[in-house]
Structures are given as structure tokens and as C-alpha cells.
Amino acid sequence: MPLLASWLPLAQAQAGGGTRELVDTLARTPLSKVVIFVVVLSVFRAAIYPYMHKTPPHKRLGTYVFARFINEMLDAFIYAGVFVFMLIRPFAVQAFLIPSGSMWPTLYVNDFIVANKAVYRYSDPKANDIVVFRPPATARLSPDQLDEQGEMKVDFIKRCIGTPGDIIEMKKGVLYRNGKMVDEPYKRMSVCTDTTPQPECQEFRELSADEQKQLTQTSFKLVNYKGHLVPLNYSSLDANAPSPRVEHFIETTAPYHVADEFAIADPDEEKKAENLPAEKIPPHMYLMMGDNRNNSFDGRGWGLVPREWIIGRAELVWWPPKRIHIPH
């Protein structure tokens, strides 16, 4: 019964969610469940083997043919479990589903990507890498994203914007790295165009130049505020305000979103924080942002990602077929 319960989500995904949910469920199946699955199949395989071995050649008909088929199927599943889930997935590559539009149009909602997990075993992430990682708890959008220990149990994918030692700033929406303006051909400013309510926006439209001029232009930097490294978002109106004020907006798009832990409610404190100098990214830490810049809750709002939480680099969009490409 425990084994059946552990694999129930897979059956539910197959029955109710289609191929997309099935593949995503398989890709995220915990290794402990894979081990149990392989052990159970191995027990069945061992139980069939004596019958297969002792049946003389001239009687290998009927039941024997069926038993041989079952034996070969068990072998296939066992080898797949060991090779794919215990060797390839932990050390080489893994499939991930894109759940949100924060990387649009580089990555669409429901794209499947292959992440290269081996590359960061012998090298470190570089600026502009598209990275899969485990985010800090400050990145939560709901309590459901946290496990029993209060850590995030979901993976994010964003673009690596800052590496250890970099000084990253945004000045009225323009990115600067170590004092030099950065060309960002991948960056977009968009508005959601979904016609039906959904948990996550599925479709976007890029804002025109005139529409972008209507947006409150925000700036960003890391500052040492009261002894803590804080991601600071600020405009001519406020800085890390719990409810940012706006001069103009498009369909209630806020100029920024900061985690509750970094919000500053006192206007005098906002001004003090805004006047602090930009700080370098510390060793072994990275700053991530989404390409869909005004529709991404990312490192600007929840901070930095430790090196050990980085999983891999996105190498290929492999599903749906019409979207197959190498993201960059």
C-alpha cells in the first residue's frame, strides 16, 4: 500500500493532466521512490527467474512466452530506473517544465527544457547563463512552496546577471555591471494578455515604446542596510515600499515587488537606504533576473542564490516540437 500511495501522483498526472504533467512528474520523482520501485521490480524478476531457468526448451510455449515477456519488461524498467534516475539525472542532465512567464519570450510557459547538470561540476555559472536553481525562502509566493523545514521545494529558472565580485545596478531600468552599461537583447517589457483567469499568466504582449515610457522607471542595487545585504528597488517615489507607489501604470503592473523580509515601511528609512552605496556580490553568491523584466519576481525582490543551490544550465527546449531551440 505505501508503494501504491507513493506512485499515486504519477497515475493522477497521467489520467488527468496529460503528457505535460506526466513528463514533469517523472522528471521530479524523488530518488527514494525510484529505489523502492526498482527493488520491487527486482523481487518480481527474481521470482520469475527460477521458472524461466528450469523450463526445458521443448516446453517453452504458452505460459513461458508470457513469463518471458514480463521478464523482459521488468528488465527494461529496472535498467531505465538505474541508468536514467540514478546516473543520468543526478549527474548529467534533467528535464524541467517552465511554470511561469518570467523568462518570456526566451522561454514560454509549459516549455520543457533540458538542464545540463554536469557543466557546473567543473565550472561556475557565468553572466547570461540561463540557470536552474533552488531559490531562497524569501522567493516564496505562497506557503505551499515551502517544505516542512521552511525551505523552497520548487525550482526556478532565470538568467544569471551577476557573479561573485560584480557590482550590479539598474538605473531607471537600464542594467549596469561594474559601472558599464549592459546590452540586453533578450530583455522584454510586457503585459499579460490572457483572456481567462489562470494561476499563472500564459500569454504576453510586448509593450510598445510609448507604453514603456508610461511605466514608473525603477532602479536597483544591493546595499548594506542595518548590517544585512539587501536588494533595494527604488524610484523617484519610494524605495522597497511594501506597496510601491506609481506615477503611471499599465493594467495594475507594479514597478517592483520585494519580499516581505526586505520591505521598508518608514519613508525616512527608505531615503536612507536609497542613499547607500551599491555593494559587490559576495563570494559564492549569484544574482538572477528574468528576461520578462517587469513580469518577473526575481533576485531584485528576494536576493541572492548560493552557489550550492545552483542545479544546472538550460541547454535545449525540447518540447513542444515547434519550440525546439537552444535558448540564449
Catalytic residue positions? 102, 158
SS3 202: coil
Q: How far is CA 241 from each of CA 85, 138, 218, 246, rounded to the nearest angstrom? A: 45, 16, 12, 11
Q: How many CA atoms lie within 13 A of 31 on its CB side?
A: 11
User: Can you list the positions of beta strands (E) in the chain?
Assistant: 93-97, 112-116, 130-133, 156-162, 168-171, 174-177, 180-181, 190-192, 204-206, 219-225, 228-234, 285-289, 305-306, 310-319
CA atoms of 183 and 175, how far apart (whole Å) = 8
The Cβ of residue 2 has, within 10 Å, a number of other Cβ atoms equal to 7
- For residue 3 the three cell numbers come to 508503494
| Burial class (CB within 10 angstroms; exposed 0-12, middle 13-18, buried 19+) of 279 | middle
- For residue 104 the three cell numbers come to 518570456
Q: Is the peptide bond before 199 cis (omega within 30 degrees of 0)?
A: no
How far does the chain reach from its first CA to its final CA, in angstroms?
46
Query: Which positions ≥6 away from 239 have C-beta within 8 Å?
Result: 232, 233, 264, 270, 271, 273, 274
